[in-house]
C-alpha cells in the first residue's frame, strides 16, 4: 500500500478469509492511496489473483477499506476495451480478448453504431493467424473523412512496443512506424490522432540503456508529411500515461505519475501508469504546462462545446447538520472527483471501472458492455 514502509507477505490458504492491517503514512487530506493484493507468482496467473483499490486514510484513525475478493474467478483482464469512434460516429473500433485458447489474443474489431445488441461486428484482425506477434493494447481510428478507413494500434511483444498502421479495408496489410531506437529502449503508453489527421501524438517512457540518464516521460508529435518525430515535453523520472488532444489541436491533457504499474498484465495490455495520478495539460508547442487535478485519470475531451445550463432550483428541504456530515463522510470515503461544472472544451475526467466509457459525437456519453451469450 502507498505510504507503507514495506509490503506485507503471507501464505494464504484457499477458501480462507484474512483481515489485513497495515500502518501507513497519510499523504494528505483528500489524497487517495493505492492498495494492491496480488500473488507474486504472476506468470502462472496473469489476470487472476491481482486486485487493487484506493483509500484516503485519516491520521490517528483506523480506516476500513472493505473487502477484496481474491480468487481464480475474479479476472483483472477486460474482454472488450479501447473503444473509439470513426470520424463520423457511424462505427466503433475496439479490441476484444476472445476466449477459446489458454492465452487468448486481443483481436481488432469494428462494429456499427446501430449494431444489434447480439452482434459483435466484424473482426478485422485475428492475431491467432500471426505467429510470434505480440498483444494489441490500444487502437484508434482516423478523425477525418479523408482518412476515414485508416487506424493505428499499439502492439507489445518480447522486444518492446510497436506502433502499427493499417486500414479497415485491408487490416492484414500493416506497416510499422519507425521510431528510431524505440521500441528497444522505450515503452509506448498511449497515442492519439491530431484532429486534422496530419499526424499523431505519442506518450512514451524513454530509457537510455547503459547510461546514467534518468528515464523520462515524453510527449511526441509525429507528422506524416515529413515523417518527423518532435518532442513536445519531457519529464525526467516521471511517467506520462493516457492522453487526449483538444478538438482544436491546441492543447493536450495527460496522466502524470511517478511509476509504472508492476503487474504481469503489462505483457498483454501494455505498460500503464501507476495511479492515483495527476492530470496535467500542455499547449501543443510545449508551453503552458499546468495541473488540472491532483487525483484523476483516463482524460477524454468532449467533441462539442457543452452549453452553460441555468442552475436548477431544488424543491427538497435543505439538509440538516447531521445529513451534511454524512454526505461529507461518504464523499471522503469514496475519494471524490473534485466537483465543479465542466466548461466548453474543458477536459472531462472519467474513472473507468467496469466498462469503457466514450463520448458520443453529439457530446453525450455511452457505456460499452459486452454480455456473454
Any idea which fold 80-304+342-367 has? Methylamine Dehydrogenase; Chain H (2.130.10)
Cα-trace Rg, the chain: 22
- What are the grid coordinates assigned to 350, written together? 472519467
Give 110-169 pLDDT, tens digit per residue: 999 888 877 889 999 999 888 778 889 999 999 999 999 999 999 987 777 899 999 999
List the one residue out of 128, 90, 137 whose CA is nearest residue 261: 137
**278: CB partners within 8 A, 6+ apart:** 255, 256, 257, 291, 292, 293, 294, 295, 296
Q: Where in the chain is the domain with CATH 2.130.10.10?
A: 80-304+342-367
Would you state the pLDDT for residue 172?
Answer: 92
Give the integer Cα–Cα distance in Å for 204 and 212.
19
d(CA 102, CA 90): 34
Contact call for residues 170 and 187 (beta carbons, < 8 A): no
pLDDT tens string 255-295: 999 998 876 666 667 788 988 899 999 999 999 999 999 88
pLDDT, residue 143, reads: 96
pLDDT tens, position by position, 215-254? 999 999 999 999 999 999 999 999 999 999 999 999 999 9
Share of the chain above pLDDT 70, in %: 70
Res 210: pLDDT: 64
Beta strands in 90-147 (DSSP E): 91-97, 106-112, 122-125, 135-141
pLDDT digits (tens, 9 = 90+) for 302-329: 877 666 666 655 555 554 444 433 333 3
Amino acid at each position: 500500500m502507498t505510504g507503507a514502509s514495506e509490503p506485507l507477505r503471507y501464505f494464504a490458504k484457499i477458501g480462507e478469509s484474512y483481515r489485513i492491517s497495515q500502518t501507513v503514512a497519510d499523504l494528505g487530506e483528500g489524497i487517495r492511496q493505492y492498495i494492491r493484493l496480488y500473488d507474486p507468482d504472476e506468470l502462472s496467473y496473469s489476470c487472476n489473483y491481482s486486485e487493487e483499490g484506493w483509500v484516503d486514510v485519516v491520521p490517528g484513525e483506523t480506516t476500513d477499506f472493505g473487502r477484496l475478493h481474491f480468487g481464480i474467478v475474479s479476472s483483472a483482464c477486460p474482454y472488450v476495451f479501447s473503444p473509439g469512434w470513426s470520424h463520423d460516429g457511424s462505427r466503433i473500433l475496439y479490441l476484444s480478448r476472445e476466449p477459446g485458447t489458454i492465452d487468448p489474443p486481443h483481436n481488432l474489431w469494428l462494429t456499427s453504431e446501430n449494431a444489434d445488441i447480439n452482434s459483435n461486428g466484424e473482426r478485422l484482425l485475428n492475431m491467432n493467424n500471426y505467429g510470434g506477434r505480440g498483444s494489441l493494447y490500444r487502437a484508434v481510428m482516423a478523425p477525418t473523412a479523408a482518412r476515414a478507413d485508416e487506424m493505428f494500434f499499439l502492439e507489445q511483444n518480447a522486444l518492446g512496443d510497436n506502433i502499427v498502421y493499417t486500414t479497415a479495408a485491408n487490416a492484414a496489410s500493416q506497416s510499422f512506424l519507425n521510431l528510431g531506437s524505440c521500441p528497444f529502449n522505450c515503452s509506448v503508453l498511449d497515442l492519439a490522432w491530431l484532429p486534422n489527421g496530419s499526424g499523431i501524438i505519442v506518450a512514451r517512457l524513454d530509457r537510455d540503456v547503459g547510461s546514467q540518464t534518468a528515464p523520462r516521460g515524453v510527449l511526441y508529435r509525429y507528422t506524416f508529411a515529413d515523417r518527423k518525430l518532435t518532442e513536445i515535453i519531457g519529464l525526467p523520472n516521471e511517467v506520462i500515461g493516457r492522453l487526449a488532444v483538444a478538438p482544436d489541436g491546441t492543447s493536450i491533457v495527460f496522466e502524470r505519475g511517478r511509476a509504472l504499474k508492476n503487474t504481469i498484465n503489462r505483457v498483454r495490455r501494455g505498460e500503464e501508469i501507476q495511479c492515483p495520478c495527476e492530470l496535467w495539460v500542455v499547449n501543443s508547442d510545449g508551453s503552458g504546462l499546468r495541473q488540472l487535478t491532483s487525483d484523476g485519470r483516463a482524460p477524454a475531451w468532449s467533441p462539442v462545446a457543452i452549453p452553460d445550463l441555468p442552475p436548477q432550483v431544488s424543491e427538497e428541504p435543505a439538509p440538516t447538520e447531521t445529513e451534511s456530515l454524512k454526505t461529507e463522510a461518504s464523499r471522503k470515503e469514496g475519494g471524490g472527483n473534485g466537483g465543479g461544472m465542466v466548461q466548453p472544451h474543458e477536459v472531462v475526467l472519467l474513472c473507468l471501472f467496469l466498462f469503457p466509457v466514450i463520448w458520443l459525437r453529439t457530446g453525450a456519453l455511452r457505456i460499452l458492455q459486452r454480455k456473454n451469450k
